[in-house]
C-alpha cells in the first residue's frame, strides 16, 4: 500500500511541486499551498488536508472503475485507459481554468491572463500559432495540440518583436538548439 502515495503524486505532478508529505502524520502538509486540483481530487472530507487514507480511498475507486472486466486486476490496457482518462481530466481542468467566462473557448485575453509570467508579446504569438483554425479562439483540441507541441512556446520566446518570424539576430542571440530559454 505504501507505493500508492508516490503513484498519487505522479498522477498529480502539479501537486508534487507544492506539497510535501509529513512522515509522522502521513498527511500532506498545509504549510505549503495545496493546488486546487489536488485538493479537489483527494480531500474528500473537505478539511483542507489530504491524508494517506483519503488518497488510498480515491485510488481504490479509480482501480475499481478502471477494472472494466472486474477480475480484480488491472491489465495494461485497463491501466493505460485509466491514465488516458487522467490526462483528459487534467487537460479539461486546465482548459476550464483558462476559460474564466466559461464560454467554452479561450480568448486571447483569457490566454494572456492565464500566463502572467509570460509577456503579452509571447502569449499573443503562442495564441496565434495554436489557433489553427484562425477563429481567434482556442478550442479544447487546439489547447491539447499546444500541450503536445512545446516548440510553439520556444519559438514565441525567441521572437522578441512578436512579428511571427525569427530574424537571424533573434535566432542567434538565443540558444535555440539547447532550448535553454524554454520553460
Ligand atoms: Ca481487469
Ligand atoms: Ca472564454
Ligand atoms: Ca481556434
Ligand atoms: Ca521576429
Q: Where residue 14 falls among pLDDT bands split at 50, 70, 90? A: very low
Q: Is residue 80 part of a domain?
A: yes
Among the bound ligands, name the one nearest to the CA of residue 81. Answer: 1
pLDDT per residue over 42-93, tens digit each?
999 899 899 999 999 999 999 999 999 999 999 999 999 999 999 999 999 9
Written as one string, the DSSP assignment of 8-47 is HHHHSHHHHHH--B-TTT-EE-TTSPPPHHHHHHH-TT-S
Output the CA 16–ligand 4 centroid distance in Å. 36
Examine the domain organization and report whether 85 and 9 are in the same domain: yes
Examine the domain organization and report whether 8 and 84 are in the same domain: yes
Output the CA 119–ligand 3 centroid distance in Å. 21
Output the CA 25–ligand 3 centroid distance in Å. 47
Output the CA 117–ligand 3 centroid distance in Å. 23
Q: Where residue 36 falls among pLDDT bands split at 50, 70, 90? A: confident
Output the CA 37–ligand 2 centroid distance in Å. 20
Distance, in Å, from the CA atom of 86 to the CA atom of 59, rounded to the nearest integer, reads 12
Distance, in Å, from the CA atom of 130 to the CA atom of 152, rounded to the nearest integer, reads 8
Please calculate the CA angle 65-148-164 and round it to the nearest 5 degrees. Answer: 155
Distance, in Å, from the CA atom of 19 to the CA atom of 9, rounded to the nearest integer, reads 9
Examine the domain organization and report whether 165 and 111 are in the same domain: yes
H-state helical runs in 12-139: 13-18, 36-42, 52-66, 76-98, 108-113, 120-130
User: Which of 62, 94, 126 is the endpoint of a domain?
Assistant: 94
Output the CA 145–ligand 3 centroid distance in Å. 11
Distance, in Å, from the CA atom of 71 to the CA atom of 69, rounded to the nearest integer, reads 6
Examine the domain organization and report whether 82 and 109 are in the same domain: no
Cell of 110: 483569457
User: Which of 73, 94, 115 is the endpoint of a domain?
Assistant: 94
Among the bound ligands, name the one nearest to the CA of residue 129. Answer: 3
Q: Is residue 181 part of a domain?
A: no
Examine the domain organization and report whether 122 and 87 are in the same domain: no
CATH code for the domain in which residue 126 is found: 1.10.238.10
- Model's pTM, two decimal places? 0.70
Examine the domain organization and report whether 16 and 62 are in the same domain: yes
Among the bound ligands, name the one nearest to the CA of residue 111. Answer: 2
Is pLDDT above 90 for 181?
Answer: no
Examine the domain organization and report whether 126 and 153 are in the same domain: yes
> What's the average model confidence in pLDDT over 94-105?
97
Other residues' Cβ atoms within 10 Å of the Cβ of residue 102: 6
Examine the domain organization and report whether 86 and 156 are in the same domain: no
Distance, in Å, from the CA atom of 85 to the CA atom of 78, rounded to the nearest integer, reads 11
Examine the domain organization and report whether 8 and 64 are in the same domain: yes
Examine the domain organization and report whether 12 and 47 are in the same domain: yes
Q: How remote is the C-alpha of 109 from its chain's centroid?
A: 20
Containing structural domain, residue 62:
4-94
Q: Is residue 130 part of a domain?
A: yes
Amino acid at each position: 500500500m505504501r507505493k500508492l502515495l508516490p503513484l498519487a503524486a505522479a498522477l498529480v505532478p502539479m501537486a508534487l511541486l507544492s506539497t510535501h508529505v509529513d512522515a509522522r502524520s502521513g498527511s500532506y502538509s498545509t504549510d505549503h499551498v495545496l493546488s486546487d486540483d489536488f485538493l479537489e481530487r483527494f480531500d474528500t472530507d473537505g478539511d483542507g488536508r489530504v491524508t494517506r487514507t483519503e488518497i488510498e480511498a480515491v485510488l481504490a475507486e479509480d482501480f475499481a472503475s478502471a477494472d472494466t472486466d472486474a477480475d480484480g486486476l488491472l491489465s495494461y490496457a485497463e491501466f493505460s485507459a485509466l491514465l488516458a482518462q487522467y490526462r483528459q481530466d487534467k487537460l479539461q481542468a486546465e482548459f476550464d481554468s483558462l476559460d474564466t467566462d466559461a464560454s467554452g473557448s479561450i480568448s486571447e485575453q483569457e490566454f494572456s491572463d492565464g500566463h502572467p509570467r509570460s509577456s503579452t508579446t509571447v502569449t499573443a504569438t503562442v495564441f496565434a500559432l495554436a489557433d489553427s483554425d484562425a477563429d481567434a479562439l482556442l478550442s479544447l483540441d487546439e489547447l491539447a495540440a499546444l500541450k503536445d507541441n512545446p516548440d510553439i512556446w520556444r519559438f514565441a520566446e525567441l521572437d522578441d518583436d512578436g512579428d511571427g518570424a525569427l530574424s537571424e539576430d533573434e535566432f542567434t542571440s538565443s540558444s535555440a538548439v539547447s532550448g535553454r530559454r524554454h520553460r
